[in-house]
């Protein structure tokens, strides 16, 4: 006996005839001709080396071998259907894993809502969230994350950015600062102040030290901070000032620090970042994130 050439078509034909005990009825269910079905069964029997049916002009009955093999054939077809469904679920993002990068302080209020909503819609997707500090502002999107929540700008090319939130930039000042009591300040009022910067170098650090406004002069960096907490601690202890987003003022407010709006600095954003060829699950996450932001009034982009 050789089973190397067994295929789903033969198994399905055997099960249909075994259930109908009629070649006519089975052919109708399979949408093929009766001669074609009979030929398939004969080929299957020859390959197995055993007769599956006892036939005469009046009826069709399962042989002893046929009765023994029919439950196994059904089970094989069921497992094949499960395999196909699992493959399809992975292909359309209903199963699998999703690595989500998250830049500390970005979308703090949105992330729990997005993750909760995604878990409800895609319960078979294993979501792995990794938080990144200011030393990795791309939140891993250039280093293995499937999707990331972050604040532009980025040094990376080929990354798709989808804006979730647009908000004011604010100055983070010690309460003893000369402008701590102001509702708003100009970026040009801050350029001579010692400033707290993110670790490293690059466009992201340069953005938050306001290098664009310094006419090629170097920012007077006095300290580096890799987290919001360490940044605010440095400001509160009067080591310098920093520039951050207005959501920092909402979620990290504390005594000893003031957050006036920088009125002449463009708004900053929180974005979903996708790689050049995102997975379906990553695309689903991004779409849902936008929906959550809209539903909760967080998408603050002006028309």
Domain at 185, CATH number? 3.40.190.10
Same structural domain for residues 141 and 31? Answer: no
What is the reported pLDDT for 3? 55
- In this prediction, residue 94 has a pLDDT band, given cuts at 50, 70 and 90, of low
Region 200-227: mean pLDDT is 95
Same structural domain for residues 189 and 207? Answer: yes
| Separation CA 261–CA 129 (nearest Å) | 31
What is the reported pLDDT for 300? 45
- In this prediction, residue 274 has a pLDDT band, given cuts at 50, 70 and 90, of very high
- Mean pLDDT, the chain, as a whole number? 90
Region 213-241: mean pLDDT is 95
Same structural domain for residues 156 and 214? Answer: no
Residue 132 pLDDT exceeds 60: yes
231 within domain boundaries: yes
105 within domain boundaries: yes
Same structural domain for residues 258 and 272? Answer: no
Same structural domain for residues 84 and 52? Answer: yes
Q: Which of 155-164, 248-257, 260-269, 294-303 has the lowest mean pLDDT?
A: 294-303
Region 78-92: mean pLDDT is 76
Let me know if 236 is exposed, middle or buried by CB neighbors in 10 A (0-12, 13-18, 19+).
middle
Same structural domain for residues 162 and 177? Answer: no
278 within domain boundaries: yes
Instruction: Tell me the pLDDT tens digit for each residue of 54-80.
Output: 988 778 999 999 999 999 999 988 888
What is the reported pLDDT for 149? 97
* Number of domains making up the chain: 3
Check: CB of residue 137 under 8 Å from CB of residue 198. yes
pTM of the model: 0.72
Same structural domain for residues 196 and 257? Answer: yes
Region 17-39: mean pLDDT is 91
126 within domain boundaries: yes
54: domain CATH number is: 1.10.10.10
Same structural domain for residues 226 and 251? Answer: yes
Same structural domain for residues 123 and 150? Answer: yes
Q: Which of 58-72, 132-146, 221-235 has the lowest mean pLDDT?
A: 58-72
Residue bearing the bigger pLDDT, 85 or 194: 194
Q: How many CA atoms lie within 13 A of 285 on its CB side?
A: 34
What is the reported pLDDT for 95? 63
Q: Which of 73-77, 272-276, 282-286 has the lowest mean pLDDT?
A: 73-77
Same structural domain for residues 242 and 180? Answer: yes
Structural domain including 48 reads 8-89
301 within domain boundaries: no
Strand partners, 221: 195
Let me know if 127 is exposed, middle or buried by CB neighbors in 10 A (0-12, 13-18, 19+).
middle
Last residue of a domain, one of 89, 123, 140: 89
């Amino acid at each position: 006996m050789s089973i190397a050439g067994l295929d789903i078509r033969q198994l399905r034909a055997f099960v249909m005839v075994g259930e109908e005990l009629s070649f006519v009825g089975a052919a109708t269910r399979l949408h093929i001709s009766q001669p074609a079905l009979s030929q398939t069964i004969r080929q299957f029997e020859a390959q197995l080396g055993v007769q599956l049916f006892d036939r005469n002009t009046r009826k069709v009955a399962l042989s002893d071998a046929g009765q023994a093999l029919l439950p196994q054939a059904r089970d094989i077809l069921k497992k094949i259907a499960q395999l196909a469904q699992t493959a399809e679920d992975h292909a359309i993002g209903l199963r699998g894993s999703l690595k989500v990068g998250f830049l500390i302080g970005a979308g703090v209020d949105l992330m729990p809502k997005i993750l909760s909503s995604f878990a409800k819609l895609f319960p078979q997707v294993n979501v792995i969230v990794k938080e990144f500090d200011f030393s990795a502002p791309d939140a891993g999107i250039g280093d293995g994350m499937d999707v990331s929540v972050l604040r532009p700008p980025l040094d990376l090319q080929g990354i798709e950015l989808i804006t979730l939130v647009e908000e004011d930039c604010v100055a983070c000042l010690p309460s003893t600062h000369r402008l701590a009591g102001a509702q708003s300040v100009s970026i040009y009022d801050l350029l001579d102040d010692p400033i707290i910067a993110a670790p490293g170098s690059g466009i992201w650090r340069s953005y938050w030290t306001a290098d664009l406004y310094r006419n090629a002069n170097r920012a007077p960096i006095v300290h580096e901070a890799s987290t919001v907490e360490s940044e605010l601690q440095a400001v509160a202890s009067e080591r310098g000032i920093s520039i951050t987003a207005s959501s920092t003022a909402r979620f990290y407010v504390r005594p000893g620090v003031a957050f006036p709006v920088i009125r002449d600095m463009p708004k900053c954003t929180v974005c979903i970042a996708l790689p050049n060829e995102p997975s379906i699950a990553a695309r689903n996450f991004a779409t849902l994130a936008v929906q959550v932001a809209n539903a909760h009034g967080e998408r603050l982009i002006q028309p």
